[in-house]
Amino acid sequence: MEYKYIVIEGNIGAGKTSLARKIAKESNAKLILEQFADNPFLPKFYKEPERYSFQLELSFLADRYKQLKEELSNPDLFHSFIIADYYFMKSLIFAGTTLKEDEYNLYRQLFMIIYDSLPKPDLFVYLHVNTEKLLRNIEKRGRSYEQNIKPEYLENLQKGYFEFFRQNPKIRYLLLDVNQLDFVANKNDYRKIREIILETEHPTGISRKILTS
């Protein structure tokens, strides 16, 4: 396969971790999952975002960089490729949504210093899901600290992702509209997504696909 490093990204509740797990298990890929459950600032942020946003984004920046630097720097002879459920640039996207202007300007300086030292993915897959479905997925998975997420927050994150795609055109972006699919429960839906990711050649820049059952 042409792609040795694939990223599955998307908004909160889009299903990126579930999809990355399924592909990794079936394809003997090395799986990199974002480690966020133990972040002490996350529950505090959802309760008091203005107070804890800067601490949260800095802690995520450090954690994501450390994990990706370690995982991507060590060759793995036992797996055919690497698949991750996040990309480092999500740090900048989330910070742009949560931080005040002066905090964001400082944060962006720190981010850009270390961003170029990490490998870029061969294929960046973005799972596009509308806000209503995202909120249903968030409610269904039942993480207590996520239950107060506002629709506006999700919409701003989506805008942040699209802006990043436009500003960084040298990466292969595959934008998959999966609103009509249930790739977790439906094997045929999953097969469609897997085939278009792993068995289709994608050009540099942005490619868009609307998938239906």
Where do runs of H (alpha helix) occur along 88-205?
90-98, 101-115, 131-141, 151-167, 187-198
Which position has the token pair 């889009």? Answer: 14
Annotated active-site residue 85? The verdict is yes
Strand partners, 111: none
Instruction: Produce one character per residue of 88-98: b if its CB has 16 or more CB atoms within 10 Å, e if not.
Output: bbbbbbbbbbb
What are the Cα distances from residue 113, in Å, to 61, 87, 108? 12, 16, 9
Q: Which two tokens stand for residue 143?
A: 């993480």
Residue 185 burial by Cβ neighbours in a 10 Å radius (0-12, 13-18, 19+):
exposed
Catalytic residue among 63, 85, 116, 182: 85
Which residues are marked as active site? 85
